[in-house]
A and B are shown apart, each in its own frame.
Chain A
Amino acid sequence: MPSGPISQANPLWNLDIPKIPYDTTRARRLLAAQGWSDSDGDGILDRDGQPLAFELIVPNSSPSRRQAAIIMEEQLRRIGVEMHIRELEPVSHTQRSQRGLFDATFFGWAQDPKPLGSISGTWGSEGANNFGRYGNPLFDSLLAATSRGTDAEQIRQTWMEALRVIQSDWPAIWMLAPFQVSAVHTRLENVFVRPDQNWGATIWQWRVRPDQMLPRDRIGIR
């Protein structure tokens, strides 16, 4: 799990920030402290006659998110929380997320390679793509200081502080920052996979080694 809203491609990526552990006993205790209990014995917590239930919208084009949503549904059921998964066509999912029409949305961002360039847009108070409407002036100012800085170590320290702030607020759970693993046959040379692009972006530059060519590779070669 990533430690915040940042991908491995970014030099500021680190996993040193402590994360909330998976602890169902503590989760149940925290919910009980807020007045949630299973008063009718149906396995779902409730308070003032209201069951603890919400809907998660997921784009039906993303197998990894659909599968992760099913695991989340099961894990939440264990602590008495009912999560309904609603799969939506991708553009509808984006539009509903943009308009804030969700209880919870499972969203994925493709971050640009510019350091922290898009984070103010997605998590800053004034961010146009801040779908969860998160707002913390301290986080905004730390992010701004990070963007202005020139000293690498100072930028890292400020960013770590910003991470601690957003983590204490937990406006979202950053589920995955997947590693893209590409296996390439040794017959090929000049293979380069860009970290910010699909593996096939440079395929036009790949070549089969001349001494490794099969008859099918020679079709059309004069």
Chain B
Amino acid sequence: MTRFLVRRILHSVAIVFIVATITFLLVHIAPGDPATAQFRDRPVSPEIVAQYRRDWGLDRPLYQQYLSYLSNIARGNLGQSFSLNRPVSEVVLQALPNTVFLAVAALGISFAVGIVIGTAQGATPNSRFDHTLTAATLAVFSMPIFWFGLMMMLVFGQWLGWFPVSGATSPVYSALPFLGRVADRLHHLVLPALTLGLGGSAVVARFHRAEIAEAFAQDFIRTARAKGLSERDVVLRHALRNALLPAITMLGLSLPVLFSGAVLVEHVFAWHGMGLAAFDAVARRDYNVVTAIALFGAIMVVIGNVVADLAYRRVDPRTRAS
């Protein structure tokens, strides 16, 4: 177990290093730099632009910038944001809780809804019910997530007026009592979490349907039925429990998809998380913020995968020997 853990952690460090390097190179080869973005429509003199580049070390050769970047992140120093003139750690730590909150809620929705739909479909394969849900899940899966978000806003925010369509809290949030703040946060969370979660639930449902259908073909299901168990017990206690194992792997694999989807959903709903911060930082060529967010995203994804692997080993005895 310890060897497995050490190996996985070393792999994770290598992945984070590769992500940090690729992100650094990608943001630096994008057209323009922080100075171009900063003075985009302001006709300032070339001396001011040169001074800006000197002040931020942007005039140094790329390899020097890369080495100081690696040396800084190794010491836990993420640098200063070019556009916000604040420590990057502050920017990231301010955005991180909102993204984690949204991602966890979306993950919960996608697995809860996906497993219920997948189980219902798998238990009644090729029925009209199964075909209808297949069409519905494929329709949701095929929708671009930003468009789905806009439709959610239109129906539940504009027409029905049930939920707020923008931001993570109301303007009066800080003046509310504790329970009022909790309610306010949850109220704002509903639409973005549903948008992100329902898109994912379609994938989980498709995957889980196949797992349940496969479980139904196994001998232990025939045995369970032969014992005289009710169909409800056969599905819930035997088929579902066995079909849930691969879902743990999916949980780990869902994290990168959730983070990439969160960029769009956060932008549509003006949700001040890492996705929105990354979007703004890319537009402003704020190299330090972009690389820090990619780094944090990579760290969260590898941690999610390690946890999923550990959970899988715990629930499936067959994997422990390897």
Partner-B contacts on A (CB < 8 A): 61, 89-92, 94-96, 98, 107-112, 118, 121-122, 127-129, 216, 219-220
Contact = CB atoms under 8 A, between A and B. Distances in A.
- Which of A90, A91, A92, A94 gathers most chain B CB within 10 Å? A91
Interface in B164-192: 172, 174-176
A92 B174 contact: no
Contacts of A89: 31, 283
B117 to A, nearest CB: 38
B40 interface: yes
B41 A219 contact: no
B283 A91 contact: yes
Contact of A110 (B37, B42, B283): B42
B164 to A, nearest CB: 14
Given A111-B43, A219-B175, 10 more contacts: A90-B37, A91-B37, A92-B31, A92-B32, A94-B40, A107-B41, A109-B42, A118-B43, A128-B46, A219-B176
A110 to B, nearest CB: 5
B175 A94 contact: no
A108 B40 CA distance: 9
- Which of B32, B45, B283, B285 gathers most chain A CB within 10 Å? B32
A95 B42 contact: no
A118 B44 CA distance: 7
Contacts, number: 55
Contacts of A108: 41
B319 interface: no
A18 to B, nearest CB: 27
B175 to A, nearest CB: 3
B13 to A, nearest CB: 33
A94 B36 contact: yes
Contacts of B41: 94, 107-110
A106 B83 CA distance: 25
Contact of A109 (B30, B43, B172, B174): B43
14 contacts: A90-B37, A91-B30, A91-B31, A94-B32, A94-B36, A94-B41, A108-B41, A109-B41, A112-B43, A118-B43, A121-B43, A121-B44, A122-B43, A219-B176
A95 B42 CA distance: 13
Interface residues of B, number: 18
B175 A91 contact: no
Contacts of A220: 172, 174-175
A203 to B, nearest CB: 12
Nearest to B284: A91
Contacts of B172: 216, 219-220
A111 to B, nearest CB: 7
Contacts of B174: 220
Interface string B192-227: 000000000000000000000000000000000000
Given A108-B41, A121-B45, A129-B43, A95 B175 contact: no
Interface string B81-97: 00000000000000000
A95 B45 contact: no
B286 to A, nearest CB: 11
B181 to A, nearest CB: 12
Given A96-B31, A220-B174, A90 B283 contact: yes
A143 to B, nearest CB: 14
A92 B30 CA distance: 8
B45 A91 contact: no
A129 B283 CA distance: 21
B137 to A, nearest CB: 33
Nearest to B37: A91
A81 B1 CA distance: 72
A95 B32 contact: yes
Contact of B31 (A61, A95, A109, A112): A95
Contacts of B285: 91
A86 to B, nearest CB: 14
A118 B45 CA distance: 9
Contacts of A216: 172
Interface string B14-51: 00000000000000001110001100111111100000
Contacts of B40: 90-91, 94
A90 to B, nearest CB: 6
Given A219-B172, A219-B175, A220-B175, A128 B45 contact: yes
A77 B42 CA distance: 33
